[in-house]
Amino acid sequence: MEIAGRITADATVKTVGGDKEVVNFSIAINDSYKPKGSSEYKDVVTYINCAYWLSSKRAKVLKKGAVVQVIGRIGMDVYNNMDGQAVGSLTFHTNDFKVLSYAKKAEAAERAAIDLTTQGQTTAAPEDDLPF
């Protein structure tokens, strides 16, 4: 199964069982539809928790705002909450993923940092010419 969505928060790496690492992240999928008898579209957002077990090193590219295509299967976790009620959640067990679009904030921040560094090098006065 393949799905695509925007990452909602930076990925986290968690150690499980003392020797295995899992990369956890969540994606949001936007959709819209027009209800019968209505002239306006209704927006729907679906959030999906994802788990990637193959390489924790790939977590560094999973930043908030990036658009990714994930490939894998859906799993269901069922447990009892504090009130004793049965609760379930879906997790997408990711076998592979492709970054379709990197987060714009990160790219903009990197560009700004590079520009500041470059400007600082070209416009800084030599230490010998200081007025005091």
User: What are the structural domains, with CATH classification, of the chain?
Assistant: 2-34+41-123 (2.40.50.140)
Q: What is the pLDDT of residue 124?
A: 47
44, two tokens = 């729907």
Q: Which residues contact 5 (CB under 8 A, 6 or more apart)?
A: 27, 28, 29, 30, 48, 67, 68, 70
Q: For residue range 57-97, list pLDDT tens digits in order.
A: 999 999 999 999 999 999 998 889 999 999 888 899 999 99
Q: What is the pTM of this model?
A: 0.69
**Do residues 47 and 27 make contact, with C-beta atoms less than 8 angstroms apart?**
yes
Q: What is the pLDDT of residue 132?
A: 45
